[in-house]
Amino acid sequence: MKIVSLFFIPVFYLFAQSPTIESDARVGFESIKADDLRRFDTYLSSDELQGRETSYPGQKLAANYIAEHFKSLGLKPIGDNGTYLQHYDVELTRVSDKSKITVKTPGTSDSFSWLKDFYTFGGRDTSVHGSVVFAGYMDNALDDSMKSKLAGKVVMVFSGQRRAPNDTVSIQLFRRIPQFRPDPTAAATIIIMDNDGPASYARLSAQLAAFGILKGRMRLKGEETSRPIRATPLMFYASPSIAEAILKPQGKSLEGVRQMAFKDSVFAPLTIDDAVISINTSVVNEERHAENVVGLLEGSDPVLKKQVVVFSAHFDHLGVSENGAIYHGADDDGSGTSMVMDLALAFSKNPVRPKRSLLFLAVSGEEKGLLGSSFYTSHPIVPLDETIADFNTDMIGRMDTAHERTNNVAYTYLIGSDKISTELDSVLQVANNETENIQLDYTYDSPNDPNHFYTRSDHYNFAKRGVPIAFFFTGVHADYHRPTDTVDKILFDRIVKIGHVVYYAGWKTANFDRMFTKNVKSSEYQQ
């Protein structure tokens, strides 16, 4: 792990007061202002834009806002048909909200609604009708005779292992979602979530909403259409109310069955023959349209201006929740998008142009799986072999808990800058030393990072295709993917410091005497 020692912080701030940048770059450097960043982010995260969800009206308002800004700066429109927009089509697959589960027992019939009571990560038409068997936890032992009782039945299991109910940490939900025991002979498996707490169905629903999963799966048009649907067992996550509707007419309680499975490692499947469950889901497919925003500032060198330095950020977010809450996305990624807009302003104001051209790229679709940057890198406006580097900013407006205790430290996590070319990392180090000397934290640069941040933002689509990248990020916080990610919490003065480093590193990269040399093992980071 590479991280600048906190011992040198006072020296950093001494240098920050007297940056030693080239005089040709100073006007642009000094043009990066907190007020401009605040103005951009305030609009991007406003209620009017309704969370900027990809392909929805708010995202298009944001795209037009960024395009108008690029136009006001005199950037060259290099998008479709002489505009600043690069359009692409997406396909949205979602389960119909008319999908339902029905439970029938002698004298009762109960109906349960999609999302309110159950959810599946799969996306296919389903019609299942059968009797029910309870099979305990994932680690309840089942011998062959017990397993035979599951064939053709709707199998109900408790999420996770028997020890899991004693696990009260918030991460419990993510530990237990993958832990199920689908039986290939079962008609379907229903995973019963906890009544309350971190692994409850209510918490699962909240998390699915926070990541935009409830609205369906979006992909680039034509992507995966040639792939066959995998014959995986049908699995559903359900509220305890469904299990209770089956057990109560039998004079049994869900808690009683849960305790039976919890107390003994061996749990004989409990068959409820006179309870019939019907699962009916249908898939809806929609074609929608989205756009990236691109603007070019031409370089001064008649040869090198054919090459570009890319400054990227995603301007989409999660939209509006099922209950009408707006996901404002002021940090994710209003902060990074505001930086790209301000860098475009700064370089445009600078009277001296760097040798290479500068491409300012605001992409949509990041929250849907890096779709906009995937489309751009598959359909590059400037060839990728003429792209010297991509500087990507995503969530640079807040502090994470690891740095809150050092409140006076200006920092950024720096990810991937040495993976494709160590020369890019060297340029960044020099640019930082000559400007703000902020803390460059390489914690998440490790290939063993369990968060996998290297693959989770738009730079990755450039890296996969061999373009050197640098990802700037200040960490996850309590408002990540929540409606409370609002502009009043953004630390704009800190963004200015990061912006100075990115600006000057971009300046040096645009004036580098050749394309960066690729590392011998750079292909390891292009997967």
Distance CA 409, CA 403 (A): 8
pLDDT at 30: 98
d(CA 309, CA 340): 12
**381/149 Cα distance (integer angstroms):** 59
Burial grade of 330 (CB within 10 A; 0-12, 13-18, 19 or more): buried
Buried b (16+ CB within 10 A) or exposed e, 484-501: ebbbebbbbebbbbbbbb
Domain boundaries, the chain: 6-89+287-525, 97-281
CA distance 366 to 360: 16
Alpha-carbon Rg for the chain, nearest whole angstrom, is 26
pLDDT number for residue 281? 93
Provide the whole-model pTM: 0.83
Q: Which pLDDT score is estimated for 226?
A: 41
| CATH architecture of the region 6-89+287-525 | 3-Layer(aba) Sandwich (3.40)
The H-assigned helical ranges of 357-488 are: 371-378, 401-404, 422-434, 459-463
Q: Which of 95, 45, 411 is nearest to 279 (CA)?
A: 95
Per-residue model confidence (pLDDT) at position 165: 54
d(CA 360, CA 70) in angstroms, rounded, equals 9
d(CA 435, CA 59): 35
- What is the rounded CA–CA span in Å between residue 364 and residue 354? 28
Check residue 213 and report its DSSP letter.
Answer: G
Structure confidence at residue 229 (pLDDT)? 43
Please give the Cα distance from 198 to 162 (Å, whole number): 16
What would the pLDDT profile of 282-337 be if each residue is shown by its tens digit? 999 999 999 999 999 999 999 999 999 999 999 999 999 878 899 999 999 999 99
Q: Please report where in the chains the tokens 């997967």 appear, as a residue.
A: 527
Alpha carbons 243 and 156: distance in angstroms, whole number: 8
Report in angstroms the alpha-carbon separations of 195 from 162, 282, 312, 415: 15, 27, 43, 40
CATH 1.20.120 corresponds to the domain 97-281:
no
pLDDT in tens, 387-426: 999 999 999 999 999 998 877 689 999 999 999 999 999 9
How high is the pLDDT of residue 137?
A: 86
- Do 105 and 275 contact (CB within 8 A), yes or no? yes
Residue 451's pLDDT is what?
A: 93
| Model pLDDT, residue 232 | 59
Cβ-proximal residues to 234 (8 Å cutoff; 6+ apart), any chain: 120, 122, 126, 128, 187, 188, 189, 279
Domains 6-89+287-525 and 97-281 share a fold: no
pLDDT < 70: residue spans in the chain: 1-18, 163-182, 211-212, 224-232, 408, 526-527
3-state helix/strand/coil string of 6-52:
HHHHHHHHHHHHCCCCCHHHHHHHHCCCHHHHHHHHHHHCCHHHHHH
